[in-house]
Structure 1
Amino acid sequence: MQLRHTLGAAAGALLLALVVPTSAHAATGDFVYRTSTGHESGLANPRSGVCTNLAGTSAEHPGHSPWNLTNSTATVFLEPDCEGDTFYVMNPGKKLGSRLKLSSVVFS
């Protein structure tokens, strides 16, 4: 009788682990950039699929020099709110120089 309860609990735990969202909804690692004034800033374990306006940046005064140290692809935009035609896709581990300007980012 006790074995049946143990097996039932184990099966329930396995099913719950498959159904409950995990950290797949977050990019693991850091995304680092320079603000419009040149200070280093970043995001730690940013949420996937959510546009983030980067602190210390704007369309008129964008940041630069992004470094994607997360395990997800980052798409950086010149405009806030991940809008506009000027964007760049960064694979994990990619570092770009000061010529790339950005104000917002979204992770896959």
Structure 2
Amino acid sequence: MRTRTAFLAVASAVALCFTIPAVASAAEGEFSYRYYDEDEELQMGVLVDPPSGECIEIPEIADWDVDAFRPRNDTDSRAVVFLDDDCASDSYFVLRPMGGRGSDRLLFRSVIFG
């Protein structure tokens, strides 16, 4: 009888583990960049704790034809910046975690963390 009760307890615990929803992972920290706004004034944008494994189009420039530049990756994950909007171009650059940065000449429109 005790074997059956112990088995039932273990089986219930395993089933409970599979019913707990998975927590989405995120790169912890900030990813900053520069861009020019509609009035051609220099602005700074920041992504705070961005999700990992998802392509993120830079929100401030998504609706018009300008690029972000001078990225700085102060997250705990590597960041890959792309020249296009959907992280699919062959033009990309990898920024190391915790301080990786690019110059004013590094233009990009999207980024993925991982």
Whether TM-score is above 0.5 comes out as: yes
Counterpart residue type for residue 56 of structure 2? T
Amino acid at match of 1:21: A
Name the structure 1 match of 2:85.
80
- Residue 67 of structure 2: aligned partner: 62
* Structure 1: distance between partners of 2:112 and 2:22: 19
- Determine the structure 1 residue equivalent to 2:111: 105
The aligned residue for residue 47 of structure 2 is 43
Conserved 8 A contact 1:36-1:56: no
Aligned residues: 98
Q: What TM-score comes out, normalization by structure 1 length?
A: 0.75
Structure 1 residue runs of 4 or more that deviate by more than 3 Å after TM superposition: 19-23
Cα contact 1:36–1:64 (8 A) shared by 2: no
2:4 aligned residue:
none
Q: 1:96 aligns with which of 76, 92, 102?
A: 102
> Partner amino acid for 1:74?
A
Identity, in percent, stands at 32
Q: After the TM superposition, which of the residue ranges 73-82 and 31-40 deviates more from structure 2?
A: 31-40
TM-aligned CA deviation for residue 33 of structure 1: 0.3
Query: What RMSD over aligned residues (CA atoms) do the two structures have, in Å?
Result: 2.7
